[in-house]
Structure 1
Amino acid sequence: MEDVRTRRGADVASDHHLVVANLKLKLKKNWTSGQTALQRFNTAFLRDTDKLNEFKIALNNRFQALQDLRKEEETSMEDNWKGIKEALTSTCQEVLGLNKCHHKEWISAETLDANLMPNKETRKLKVILKKYLIKRNKKVLFD
């Protein structure tokens, strides 16, 4: 809240005063799906010995195939690095999977819907009360 003031001049046959507040709303960052951002793999699986052994075997197979391919043809250092990077990332993605970041929602849709329902009812009540007060004031003034 940046500023809060009361407006005391409105006469609506009530002992309440109008309160006006200025709010500053900060929106959370919209997280990307991970395709353009840095991919983080679920390394917690490596604590499990079965997953660790599966990862080692898959990685050794990929590197062995890569090494056999490199023996057959002459390649540059850049091509070697791309092959190693591709083998490592694809093995991690298959065996470990991507790390899922679950960010807690700031406010849920149910909360927003629950917040709007009382406002509709109070608006209807205010309209009805205003009509009633206008009739009562006319009756008092003109009788």
Structure 2
Amino acid sequence: MKDNWKGIEEALTSTCREVLGRNKHHHKKWISMETLDKTQEGKDKNTSINNDRKRTEKIKAHAEYTKANKRVKKRIRADKQKQLGELATTAEKASREGNTRQLYDTTKKLAGKYGKLGQSVKETKGKSATEIDEQKNR
């Protein structure tokens, strides 16, 4: 029974791989291809941590992985800063030209998706005041 199920499972998975392929992960547009290559190197180093048998090899591989991870984070921050700078120059250009539609769109992109949530006002006992009147009286 188990052998039969293994055969069926193998046939299904191999057929699905051939027909469908792998599901591609869509990255953010502002991340450069060099950064994506560096992330792949980091993933490879992470798998080497799991594949190493000896403790000293694992420690050495983990140190390499942390260095690679720091480099990736640094590159991602630089890419994001570059993209934000480009958006800011686009907004300035649209403002100078009087193109309000483009200015609105770029400021909306710069502002982001979510706004800052308001802080809750707490009473002296530590319980948060939920009603607006309670917050005003506080």
TM interval, short-chain normalised: under 0.3
Greater share of helix:
2
**How high is the TM-score relative to the length of structure 2?**
0.28
CA radius of gyration, larger in: 1
